[in-house]
Structure 1
Amino acid sequence: MQRLHLHLLSDSTGETLEMIAKAALAQFENADVVRHFWPMVRSQQHLDRIMSEIAAHPGLVLFTLVSTEIRARLEQRCATLGLSSVAALDTVTDALEQQLGQEAKGRPGRQHTMDEAYFRRVDAIQFTIAHDDGVGWENWEQADILLAGVSRSSKTPTSIYLANRGFKVANIPIVVESPPPHSLFTLRRPLVVGLTTSTERLIQVRRNRLLSLNQAPETAYVDNDHVTHEVQFARRMFADNGWPVIDVSRRSIEETAAAVINLYNERHNIRAGGSSEPGRDSADWKGPIA
């Protein structure tokens, strides 16, 4: 199989370009791709230094560069080397310009400006980190979302992903031997979502976790009967309280988070009859999502 060197050049943090590349590469099985990441490319001198590395590892060049001078220089250098270069956002930007009747503002990193949404996201991340794994239950009413599930049901990574989208998230492990705080069942503001998974998948994840920690992989933590009881106990709790449930067995973190956001938006649309934003008060909403 031929190896492909994929060069990603951005005049900002490169997060958008990385997501585009990741989504596209997911369509190719067993592709041998080496990614080279070049963020904050804002001068021709910087570009020239990168071009020497690209020449040493020729491949496909994807870029999100606003400066017409730097773009032209990159495209010229790539053409000289016989390499393909693709402006990842041009097609979308051109279509938006036509539909909106205005030109895009050519400012590097414009999507990362430190506006109100930026500070809300930072606040959400700080809240989420401080309320991981059942910590800080006294402040759960301040959360937008609370994730509940047995150990290793992807609560923490999903919480962090949602926090990066601006949601204040708390999460709590459901443990048969240790009932959660009573406040979990009286919350009004946060959307409580139960995360569940198949017994087989959960045992596999837990066993791999134990092995990574050099711990004995044969304990009650991975015992089939014990794990089955845990999963059933959690599912019964979710059902008794009318909480929406997401099965994460075959979902990526991104897919699970997207499902949670859909539930959150549906809840707010039911309440307010319109779109919602993280942090909006929802204290007068009660009951499960249909």
Structure 2
Amino acid sequence: MARIHLHLLSDSTGETLEMIAKAALAQFDDSEVLRHFWPMVRSQQHLDRIMGEIAANPGLVFFTLVNEETRGRLEERCHTLGLPALAVLDNVTDALEAHLGQEAKGRPGRQHRLDDAYFARVDAIQFTIAHDDGIAWEDWEDSDIILAGVSRTSKTPTSIYLANRGYKVANIPIVVESPPPQALFGLRRPMVVGLTTAPERLIQVRRNRLLSLSQSPDTDYVQAEKVESEVKYARRMFADNSWPVIDVTRRSIEETAAAIINLYNERKASGIKGPVGPKPI
């Protein structure tokens, strides 16, 4: 198995750099990558301290540094050590400069400045946390997206991920014995998305959850016939209300969120609104 050190240096939070590295590494199997993350690198003194660690653990160096002196020093030191250093956004920035006919503004962390979009994202996160697991359903009309699904279909983590992208999200568990509020079936503004999964996979996830809580796995919560009935009940509700459905069986949280965002954008572009009247089960 190949084993390498990967150093990620950013002049901001490094979120973008981490996502790029993660996406690239997903293309390679049978490799052990030791990631070293260095955010907020905005001075040569800070860089010099980091270079000691890089020299002790030589490997690949990916960076997003806009300060010419800092990045120049990094490239020089890496060249001396015989290490490849790649500015991962340079090609994208160069292409945009050429097509837009203007020079990029080299301000560290520019994409993370405290603008209206930042505060909108904070507002979305606060809203989403306050509307988890069916709480405060009276405010659902203020949501952008509502996720519905049986227990352990990744509703909460997907909601939080979407909130970090700026969407106000509420989620509601679909329980046979306790139907959702009637308000869910008459919403106009939010897009309701049904999350489902294969019963076998759901049983496995639920069983692991019970074991992690030191609870007995011998309950209806993981009983095959019971779980299959739950999934069918939820699917019937989704179909009766014409809600889009996403099967999360083999999807990561990021993949599920990306599919939801695509649905949301398509709905927004078409001007489609929610159902006029309820179709509860």
Indicate the TM-score class for this superposition, using the shorter chain for normalisation. over 0.9
Q: Deviations over 1:241-288 (max 9, x none)?
A: 1111111111111111111111111111111xxxxxxxxxx8x5547x
Q: Give the alignment of 1:192-211 within 5 angstroms.
A: 192-211=192-211
- What residue is the counterpart of 2:103 in the other structure? 103
State the distance in 2 between where 1:194 and 1:247 align: 9
Counting only pairs closer than 5 Å after superposition, residues 54-203 of structure 1 correspond to structure 2 as 54-203=54-203
Tell me what 2:255 maps to. 255
Match of 1:278 in 2: none
Q: Which amino acid in the other structure matches residue 259 of structure 1?
A: A
Aligned equivalents of 1:218, 1:193: Cα separation in 2? 31
**1:13 equivalent in structure 2:** 13
1:213 Cα shift? 1.3
Is the Cα contact below 8 Å between 2:186 and 2:274 reproduced in 1?
no
Q: Distance in 2 between matches of 1:156 and 1:236?
A: 22
CA contact (8 A) 2:61 2:83 kept: yes
In 2, Cα distance between the equivalents of 1:3 and 1:270?
49
Q: Deviations over 1:91-115 (max 9, x none)?
A: 1111111111111100000101111
Match of 1:32 in 2: 32
CA deviation string 1:97-154 (max 9, x = no partner): 1111111100000101111111111100000011001111111111010000000001
Unaligned segments of structure 2, at least 5 residues: 277-281
**Aligned mates of 1:29, 1:148 — CA distance in 2:** 35
Match for residue 274 of structure 1?
Answer: none
Identity of aligned residues (%): 76
- Give deviations 1:163-214, integer Å, cap 9, x for gaps: 0111000000001111111111111111011001110111111111111112
Residue 215 of structure 1: CA displacement? 1.4
Q: Give the whole-Å Cα distance in 2 for the aligned partners of 1:203 and 1:285.
A: 32
SS at match of 1:3: strand
TM-score by length of 2: 0.96
- Provide the secondary structure at the position in 2 that maps to 1:239: helix
Counterpart CA distance in 1 for 2:226 and 2:20 is 41
SS in 1 for 2:243: coil
Which consecutive residues of structure 1, in runs of 5 or more, have no partner in the other structure? 272-281
Instruction: Show the counterpart of 2:42.
Output: 42
Residue 218 of structure 1 deviates from its aligned partner by: 2.1
Sort the Cα spacing of 1:2 and 1:267 in 2 relative to 1 into closer, same or farther, 3 A: closer
In the alignment, does 2:239 pair up with 1:239? yes
Q: CA deviation at 1:31?
A: 1.5
3-state secondary structure, aligned to 1:66: coil
Alpha-carbon distance in structure 2 between the residues aligned to 1:231 and 1:212: 23
Distance 1:10 1:213 in 2: 39
Q: Which amino acid aligns with 1:167?
A: Y
TM-score by length of 1: 0.93
Query: 2:185, 2:275 within 8 Å by CA — same for their partners in 1?
Result: no
The CA distance in 1 between the partners of 2:274 and 2:143, in whole Å, is: 14
Taking the aligned partners of 2:227 and 2:275, their CA distance within structure 1 comes to 31
Match of 2:279 in 1: none
Distance 2:180 2:169 in 1: 17
Looking at structure 2, the residues matched to 31 and 139 of structure 1 have their Cα atoms a distance apart, in angstroms, of: 47
In 1, Cα distance between equivalents of 2:75 and 2:187: 56
Distance 2:8 2:268 in 1: 38
For 1:159, the aligned partner's letter is S
